[in-house]
Amino acid sequence: MGQNVTISGRDGDFSAYLAAPSSGHGPGIVVIQEIFGINDVMREMADRLAAQGFFALAPDLFWRLKPGIELTDKTDAEWKEALDLMGRFDVDKGIEDIQATIDHLRVTTGINGKIGAVGYCLGGMLAYLTATRTDIDASVGYYGVQLPKYLGEAGNIKKPLLLHIADEDGFSSKQAQAETLKALGTNSHVTTHVYPSVDHAFARPGGKNFNAEAAELANARTDTFFRSHLG
């Protein structure tokens, strides 16, 4: 069980959910939200990382639009609100907030000095941009959206980045996936894995597209990746 903390950002304070390891020491990980806010799923993701020995901090990136938003993927009304929030979300400001979250973690008692980031959906795209625009030590993106829009920044990636790509992603076309893989294929800092026959959000527990086998494989690769680069 974690706790809510306050992060001081460039434009003001915002909340975040912090789950700490029982050992009281280890690396830090920024958990970057989907379009549904810091809901039960994101808190469970953070708790799982804490159980594996990481300080997991999930910032409320929608705070400028609607602080404390918690939606699910269960109703059309919630989907409509989530997509509206994504459409109005300022990506550049979001990355500033992620940098503030990284800074907060770096001075948290017990942190070993290394910070990673993991994001899902919108957060998957933001995890990529975290690798191109911040001082993060390692980043992981799950089924990131709109990646081709930012591939011009790929040359800025100087630290390890791992991307999990859903082969049948309803929010990322085959062309978008091909462009992403081609643009990143020559960057030695980037590792990509494509998961056949799975859709967007295949790693979201309880979601309609959840695929236990693919999620288990992706999560195991993420754990190995973080232990290799943040230990």
- Active-site position among 97, 104, 199, 200: 200
Phi, psi of 60 (to 5 degrees): -80, 95
Residue tagged 């974690």 (tokens): 2
169 is a catalytic site residue: yes
166 beta partners: 195
CB 56 within 8 A of CB 49: yes
- Active-site position among 164, 169, 193, 229: 169
104 is a catalytic site residue: no
The Cβ-side half-sphere exposure at 151, using a 13 Å CA radius, reads 18
CB 52 within 8 A of CB 150: no
Residue 210 to residue 31: CA distance in whole angstroms: 19
Q: What is the CA radius of gyration of the chain?
A: 16
- Which residues are tagged catalytic? 169, 200
